Amino acid sequence: MTGKYPRLAVRGLLLHQDKLLLVNAWPGKKSDLWCAPGGGVDPGKSLPDNLIREFYEETGLDITVGAPALVNEFHDPGSDFHQVDIYFHCDTEMPEIAEDWVDPEGVVHSRRFVSRTELAGLRVKPDSLAEVAWGTGGIAYDPLEPIVR
């Protein structure tokens, strides 16, 4: 969504065996940027319901949504794009990722669990991802930052 209103999105922080699930959501593998699974919010549905749908589309995993962990916002200074992501801690009974899973939207092409050490060697957004995923504190806020491609 562009225009005078920010786009609202939800993302999930799923840790399994002390590894965080990340996705690369750049069609055509245009970028090496990794992020937490999630996506845009449909009006009339709760944030957790939207996250359950988006997480399943991108990973094939059924999740339960826990407490919020982060509010992150970013924008494109060259356009009117502005997005607010709300991150939630998540859990799942079946954390195995099927090798043949295909994102029905065709956006996510790679999914993987990474350790905190591995995460440090990847290009990820937001910058506070490791702190929030492995942290024990309350909800955090990342102020407006420029979009990264």
Cα-only R_g, the chain: 14
Instruction: Give the model's confidence band at 18: pLDDT under 50 very low, under 70 low, under 90 confident, else very high.
Output: very high
Instruction: Give the model's confidence band at 142: pLDDT under 50 very low, under 70 low, under 90 confident, else very high.
Output: confident
- Would you state the structure tokens that stand for residue 109, as one six-digit string? 């092409």
Residue type, 95: P
pLDDT digits (tens, 9 = 90+) for 55-86: 999 999 999 999 999 999 988 888 999 999 99
Q: For residue 14, list its beta bridge partners.
A: 90
- Distance, in Å, from the CA atom of 83 to the CA atom of 108, rounded to the nearest integer, reads 19
Res 36: pLDDT: 97
Handedness of CA 56, 59, 62, 67 (dihedral sign): negative
